[in-house]
Amino acid sequence: MEENILTNNAKGEIKVSTEVISVISGMAVNEIEGVASLAEDTDSTVYSKKMLSRGISVETKNDEMTVTLNLVVKYGYQVDEVAREVQLKVKDSLENMIGFPLKSVNVIVVGVDFSEADQ
């Protein structure tokens, strides 16, 4: 389990695992209307909303954190609006819960879910 050093001062350091950051991000994504699911990568299986950390990667470099999410958007929703809303929600959730600013939240839309459109 990889850990990210969020603060390091005279009192010590605080570390948060990438798994925790991924789960917080996944919970934020679940609150966005228009998101069908996450996907592990651009060529893989789609995961249900219950698998909170799949399809999310966290990178820390030079005291800056970047989160990348692979999304499947529901048919009928405007892709750019859903992606923008995901970016804002994930950024706000992480900054509020772990107290560490994010450099960026990258959203990669890897598919469209037509399951509800077929009904």
pLDDT in tens, the chain (119 residues): 466 656 667 788 778 888 889 999 999 999 999 999 888 765 544 444 445 667 899 988 877 889 999 999 999 999 999 999 999 999 999 999 988 888 999 999 999 998 876 55
Residue ranges of domains in the chain, CATH in brackets: 3-113 (3.30.70.1350)
Rounded Cα distance, 29 and 52, in Å = 9
Spatial contact of 83 and 74, defined as CB atoms under 8 Å apart: no
Among candidate residues 24, 6, 26, the one with its CA nearest the CA of residue 16? 6
Rounded to an integer, what distance in angstroms lies between the CA atom of residue 68 and that of residue 92? 15
Q: Are strands 35-39 and 46-47 parallel, antiparallel or unpaired?
A: antiparallel
- Distances in Å between the Cα of 34 and the Cα atoms of 42, 46, 56, 85, 114 are 19, 15, 18, 10, 12
Cβ contacts of 57-61, under 8 Å, gap ≥ 24 = 57/22, 58/4, 58/18, 58/21, 58/22, 58/25, 60/4, 60/5
